[in-house]
Structure 1
Amino acid sequence: MDILMRAWSYFATNILQQPAFMIGLIVMLGYILLGKSWYDVLAGVIKAIVGYLILTVGSGGLVSNFRPVLVGLKDRFNMDATVIDPYFGQNAVTAGVEEVFGKGFGNAMILLLIAFVVNILLVRFSKITKMRALFTTGHVQVQQASTAYWLILFACPFLIKNDIGLIVVMALVLGLYWAVGSNLTIKPCQELSDGGGFCLAHQQMFGIALNTWLAEKLFGKKKNGKKVKKLDDIELPGFMSIFNENMVCTSILMLIFFGIILCVLGRDYLVQQEFMAEGQSMVFYVIQTCLYFAVYLAILQLGVRTFVTELTESFQGIANKLLPGSVPGVDCAVAFGFGSANAVPIGFLAGFVGQIIAIAVLIVLKSPVLIICGFVPVFFDNATIAIFANEKGGVKAALILPFLSGICQVFGSAIIAGWAGMAAYGGYLGMWDWAVVWPVMTAVMKFLSYAGIAIVVIALLAIPQIQYRMDKKGYFLMTKDYEAYKELKQAKSK
């Protein structure tokens, strides 16, 4: 048993929690199952790993460059608040779970392993479960396993002394969430990428599915035979035509947005925190910092183009031999390589406005929990939602739905972080699913005990069954042969 745990620990630390190597392993296995030559396998693995590392540089640069700017507002004005951010949330669990529940954080990694096995089994028996997506984003799995560990301990105190029962319940709920949530994003992703052969496995999977549906139903209806106007369809007059260029649009919007925040923080604070060098020009510091947003976004999109082709092609080997009809679930940033590029900064800004308004309401109402914006939720949630919303519902959807998402992130996080006790440790995961879906599931399990656990499990199992019954002919065809699926869809629309 000790040898198995060491092997798992090595795999989890060096591969599962390192998405680039996890993707490389999947590509290698897929190409081997397809019967590719060794040099084609090697080339594919290298391109997949390097592509994902490029994506990581882009997304990591965005986070590291701008998280201190938003968190700086907390320090600058001495506010005792909870930061909604996956890394702050994970740190809160690490710091407080033993103190609050008397449980070690190491159990969260055992939870991750069993939940991942649950996800694989659910996909393996897709004919019964109707689940087709394998969650492959290991760093996200670690963050979610941490927060789920705390929430389920809070919701099910009757299981604290029953270690085996606790781990089984946690792994079943989390594994189902991974499988069901990523499965919900298959249709939006296939339509966005024209059969790209991937789905999203991140922190806003239910949010993507719901907002894509709302965008189509509320904003996507054609009027007088005219198509819904999308962001790329807008022809700006005169000097405003420069905003048609994504890089220019992103740079100017971020210069205005972050420039204001940096000016509010002030030169003295920026120098004190070593963001700025003594004697450096404030004007050029602000310009450079804000323009890095466009730089990192371009790097991220390059990474997407590099590794997605290898992953989707190689995954056919896994889908054909091991997990029939399945697709890999990848980081939400992959969506930035598709759809309207301008949806990314627009969604981010709309979501941020929603968050600021919601935070102002918390202050006015003297909420016991005050929220500070985290860069990861406000950017990656809302930019991703805007891409799908714009695709289905056009400009209005790309503005309104991320705005509402920002409100949900703040209010939902304030409620669950305060109620479950995580606010006292300064952080909560805070992304869409964890501000909306998980608080509901936590409440059901908390108030209904064992019956609540059963209700959550049954509800999650029912979702893909409902999806399947709504489109029996196209459901599995969508992942096996997308061109045939499009023909089927066109035939139905006539």
Structure 2
Amino acid sequence: MSTFTIILEFFRDVLKQPALLMGIMALIGLVALKRPTFKVMTGTLKPILGYLMLGAGADFIVANLTPLGKMIEEGFHITGVVPNNEAIVSVAQKVLGIETMSILVAGLVINLLIARFTKYKYVFLTGHHSFFMACLLSAVLGASGMKGAELIFIGGFILGAWSAISPAIGQKYTLKVTDGDEIAMGHFGSLGYYLSAWVGKFAGKPEESTEKMEVPEQWGFLRDTTISTALTMMIFYLIAAFAAGASYVNTLSGEMSPFLFAIMSALKFAVGVTIVYAGVRMILGDLIPAFQGIATKIIPNAIPAVDCAVFFTYAPTAVVIGFISSFIGGIIGMLLLGTAGGVLIIPGLVPHFFCGATAGIYGNATGGRKGAALGAFVNGLAITFLPAFLLPVLGQLGFQNTTFGDADFGFLGILLGKAYDAVGPAGIYILVAILVIVLVIPNHIKTKAHAINNVQG
């Protein structure tokens, strides 16, 4: 292996780590602000450690959702495709490793250039999602016949452009969620969250927030997010365990009693959510102040676009409501696909938890508890039908048994695939031209804020 390849792989691995990206951005911002050395050190390390804590909590959640998903499939006799970003990326990397890596690097550079020279001031910091999108683009563009420098440049541009445009699309909703905090959504489930917010405003009133729900004194303990999450998930796990049967659950639980295993898994899930919250607080406490250095000295008015889990602390009750509502939407979507004779998309608990929870938060911001429930339900339908329609596009490359789970992947993949089917490679270039126009036009229009849509409406 050559030295150049080793260096390239090192940088690829760095760019895939959101924790390091956040740390690098914080370091640049603090140095630009000329902070003392000790503040630079602590201000750089805290976002890194906070994101690692968030990641540890997310891993704990995923580990304990896996047996729940297996029990549901066994207990209710469901077979089909489970959307999973990590699974399809691991398959695709064997075929498209170099292309994906090159698109990832090009996309990050183009995102920074767009933030510097246009009104799309959003710097996308969720590195693993950039990596997933780079993989999708290499697969879809490769299927269209592109290769080499053409594939890397077009893929990198689309990745960089969408990394700047997708946070801007729903920034007015994000400002409602955060009550004006200067962060944006940096997660490629964003279209589902914005759809939830749009639907939410027709469902209820924002002042009827999930966080203001009146709870009788004897039920006051439910206001503790960890407790309410634990109790809710215990019901889920026990139902699934009873449906699957003790003999099957024994294959998952080892020597532990099957129903005790279900209860312990639910409690561990709640602990994972609590770890995520603690990590989020550490990130926000230091990243936003440090980012002001970038926003004032390097990329004027830059706004960090961060992972969806960062928003969980803004409406913890909506997290639980959103997850349950999205999952119900996924079940109904699966049944509708089955009735229509399509491929069954089994509700993946990981996308329905993270994306559903975030959709609940956005729906709550515009429509209160009714908005949280209905908005997340619609998100559940979206992340069921979009992966189903994306399957044929990816199937050309032999990925028939898995697909991407989050809304933006489905939307962009289907759009690019249909554009190519309609007019060949020219369809891809037409979409690229549209992105260029979308990026350039706002520079010639007077807007209320320096960044597109960064005004709370």
User: TM (normalized to structure 2)?
Assistant: 0.91
State the partner residue of 2:272.
296
Which runs of structure 2 are paired with 1:286-435 in the superposition (5 Å)?
286-338=262-314, 340-367=315-342, 369-421=343-395, 424-435=399-410
Q: Distance in 2 between matches of 1:151 and 1:76?
A: 36
**C-alpha distance 74-60 of structure 1, shift in aligned 2 (>3 A):** same
Work out whether residues 52 and 304 of structure 1, in 8 Å CA contact, stay in contact via their aligned partners in 2: yes
Q: How many residues align?
A: 455
Q: CA deviation at 1:475?
A: 4.6
Separation (CA, whole Å) in 2 of partners of 1:351 and 1:309: 30
Counterpart of 2:127 in structure 1 is 138
| CA spacing shift, 1:426–1:198, aligned 2, 3 Å | same
Query: Is 1:12 the counterpart of 2:12 in the alignment?
Result: yes
1:444 deviates by 2.1
**Match of residue 101 from structure 1:** none
Residue 142 of structure 1, CA deviation: 1.5
Aligned amino acid, residue 107 of structure 1: E
Deviations 1:185-212 (A, max 9, x none): 4333333223322212112122323332
Which of 225, 247, 254 pairs up with 1:277? 254
| Distance in 1 separating the partners of 2:132 and 2:85 | 6
Letter in 1 for 2:130: Q
Give, in angstroms, the shift of residue 462 of structure 1.
4.9
Match of residue 266 from structure 1: 245
Query: Which runs of 5 or more structure 1 residues have no equivalent in the other structure?
Result: 99-103, 222-226, 480-484, 490-494
Provide the rounded CA distance (Å) in 1 between the counterparts of 2:156 and 2:386: 24
Equivalent position to 2:168, from 158, 178, 183: 183
Which residue number in structure 2 is paired with residue 230 of structure 1? 209
Q: What is the deviation of 1:49? A: 1.6
Q: 1:116 and 2:95 equivalent?
A: no
239 and 465 in structure 1: CA distance in 2 versus 1, 3 angstrom threshold: farther
**Residue equivalent to 1:251:** 230
Q: Would you identify which runs of 4 or more consecutive aligned residues in structure 1 move more than 4 Å? A: 2-5, 71-80, 237-242, 422-425, 461-471
Q: Is 2:59 aligned against 1:70?
A: no
Name the SS for the 1:83 alignment partner: coil
Q: CA deviation at 1:89?
A: 2.1
How far, CA to CA, are the matches of 2:165 and 2:274 in structure 1?
31
- 8 Å contact 2:79–2:346 — kept in the other structure? no
In structure 2, relative to structure 1, the CA distance for the partners of 1:475 and 1:446 (3 Å cut) is: farther
State the alpha-carbon separation in 2 of the partners of residues 321 and 123 from structure 1.
13
Residues 320, 347 of structure 1: CA spacing in aligned structure 2 closer, same or farther, 3 A cutoff? same
Q: Tell me how far 1:309 sits from its aligned partner.
A: 2.0
Aligned to 2:158: 173
One-letter code aligned to 2:373: L
The amino acid across from 1:307 in the alignment is I
- CA shift at 1:31, angstroms? 0.6
- Partners of 1:446 and 1:356 lie apart in 2 by 31
2:186·2:306 contact (CA, 8 Å) conserved in 1? Answer: yes
Provide the C-alpha distance between the structure 2 equivalents of 1:209 and 1:361, rounded to a whole number of angstroms: 23
Cα offsets for 1:322-367 (capped at 9, x unmatched): 21111111111000021x2110010000000011111122233332
| TM-aligned CA deviation for residue 468 of structure 1 | 8.0
Distance 1:3 1:327 in 2: 35
* Partner of residue 125 from structure 1, selected from 81, 92, 117: 117
**1:440-469 superposed Cα distances (whole Å, 9 cap, x missing partner):** 343123312244223322443455678789
Give secondary structure in 2 for the equivalent of 1:387: helix
Q: Does 1:201 align with 2:186?
A: yes
Q: Give the Cα separation in 2 of the matches to 1:80 and 1:282.
A: 23
Q: Which amino acid aligns with 1:125?
A: F
Q: Any idea what the Cα deviations from partners look like across 1:139-163, whole Å, max 9, x if unmatched?
A: 1111221122212223x23x2xx42
Instruction: State the one-letter code of the partner of 2:365.
Output: E
Residues 260/79 of structure 1: CA separation in 2 closer, same or farther (3 Å cut): closer
Are the counterparts in 1 of residues 122 and 184 from structure 2 also a CA contact under 8 Å? yes
Q: Which runs of 5+ in 2 are unaligned?
A: none
CA contact (8 A) 2:196 2:374 kept: no
Counterparts of 2:192 and 2:441, CA distance in 1? 18
- Alignment deviations for residues 26-54 of structure 1 (CA, whole Å, 9 cap, x no partner): 11111111101111111112222211111
Deviation at 1:258, TM superposition (A): 2.5
| SS in structure 2 of the partner of residue 134 of structure 1 | strand
Paired with 2:73 and 2:204, the residues of 1 have a C-alpha distance of 39
Counterpart secondary structure, 1:329:
strand
Q: Could you tell me which amino acid in structure 2 is paired with residue 277 of structure 1?
A: G
